[in-house]
Amino acid sequence: MKALFSNKQSIFFLLFLALLSCQHAEQKTDLDYKLLELDYAEGFKVYQGIGFKVLEVLQAFPGKHQPFRYLVMEQQGEIPKGKFDAIIQLPVKKVILTSTTQIPHLEYLGESSTLIGFPNLDLISSEKVRKMIHLGKVKDLGKGAQTNVEMVIDLAPDWIMISTLGEDLRNLDLFQKSGIPAPLNGEYLEGHPLGRAEWIKFTGALLGRWEEAHQAFEAIKNAYEEAEALAKKNDQTHKPKIMSGVMYKDIWYVPGADSWGAKLIQAAGGDYGFKDHPGTGSIQLSYEYVFEKAQDADFWIGAADHNSLEEMGKADPRYTYFQAFQKGQVYTYTKKKGIKGGVEYFELGYLRPDLILKDLIKIMYPDILPDYTPYFYSRLNEK
Q: Rounded to the nearest whole angstrom, what is the least distance from the CB of residue 180 to other proteins in the complex?
A: 24
* CA gap 174, 63 in Å, rounded: 22
* Dihedral angle sign, alpha carbons of residues 332, 337, 340, 342: negative
* Torsions phi, psi for 316 (to 5 deg): -155, 105
Q: Is 318 in the site for other proteins (CB under 8 A)?
A: yes
Q: Which of 218, 227, 226 is nearest to 197 (CA)?
A: 218
Which residue type occupies 266? Q
* CA gap 141, 127 in Å, rounded: 19
Instruction: Please check whether residue 318 is in contact with residue 102, taking contact to mean a CB–CB distance below 8 angstroms.
Output: no
Write each residue from 249 to 268 as x if it is in contact with other proteins (CB under 8 A), else as -, in one continuous string: xxx-----------------
User: Which helix (H) or strand (E) is 173 found in, with range?
Assistant: helix 170-177
* Residue of the chain from 284, 308, 326, 381 that contacts other proteins (CB under 8 A): 284
* Residue of the chain from 51, 131, 248, 340 that contacts other proteins (CB under 8 A): 248
* Residue of the chain from 24, 144, 235, 237 that contacts other proteins (CB under 8 A): 144
Q: Which is nearer to other proteins, 154 or 311 (CB)?
A: 311
Q: Is 314 in the site for other proteins (CB under 8 A)?
A: yes
Which residues, 6+ apart, have CB-to-CB distance to 133 below 8 Å?
121, 124
Q: Rounded to the nearest whole angstrom, what is the least distance from the CB of residue 110 to other proteins in the complex?
A: 31
Spell out the SS3 assignment of 198-247.
CCHHHHHHHHCCHHHHHHHHHHHHHHHHHHHHHHHHCCCCCCCEEECCEE
* Residue of the chain from 31, 291, 368, 369 that contacts other proteins (CB under 8 A): 291
Q: Is 288 in the site for other proteins (CB under 8 A)?
A: yes
Cis previous bond, 183, omega within 30: no
Q: Which is nearer to other proteins, 19 or 315 (CB)?
A: 315
* Residue of the chain from 32, 289, 328, 366 that contacts other proteins (CB under 8 A): 289
Q: Is 63 in the site for other proteins (CB under 8 A)?
A: no
Q: Is 167 in the site for other proteins (CB under 8 A)?
A: no
Q: Rounded to the nearest whole angstrom, what is the least distance from the CB of residue 273 to other proteins in the complex?
A: 12
Which residues, 6+ apart, have CB-to-CB distance to 21 below 8 Å?
none
Q: Which of 140, 138, 136, 179 is nearest to 159 (CA)?
A: 179
Q: Which is nearer to other proteins, 142 or 166 (CB)?
A: 142
Q: Which is nearer to other proteins, 287 or 372 (CB)?
A: 287
162: DSSP letter: B
Q: Is 317 in the site for other proteins (CB under 8 A)?
A: yes
Q: Which is nearer to other proteins, 34 or 170 (CB)?
A: 170
Q: Which is nearer to other proteins, 158 or 347 (CB)?
A: 347
* Residue of the chain from 94, 212, 316, 368 that contacts other proteins (CB under 8 A): 316
* Residue of the chain from 153, 223, 304, 368 that contacts other proteins (CB under 8 A): 304
Q: Rounded to the nearest whole angstrom, what is the least distance from the CB of residue 98 to other proteins in the complex?
A: 15
Which residue type occupies 159? W
Binding site for other proteins (CB under 8 A): 143-145, 247-251, 277, 284-289, 291-292, 295, 304-305, 311, 314-318, 321
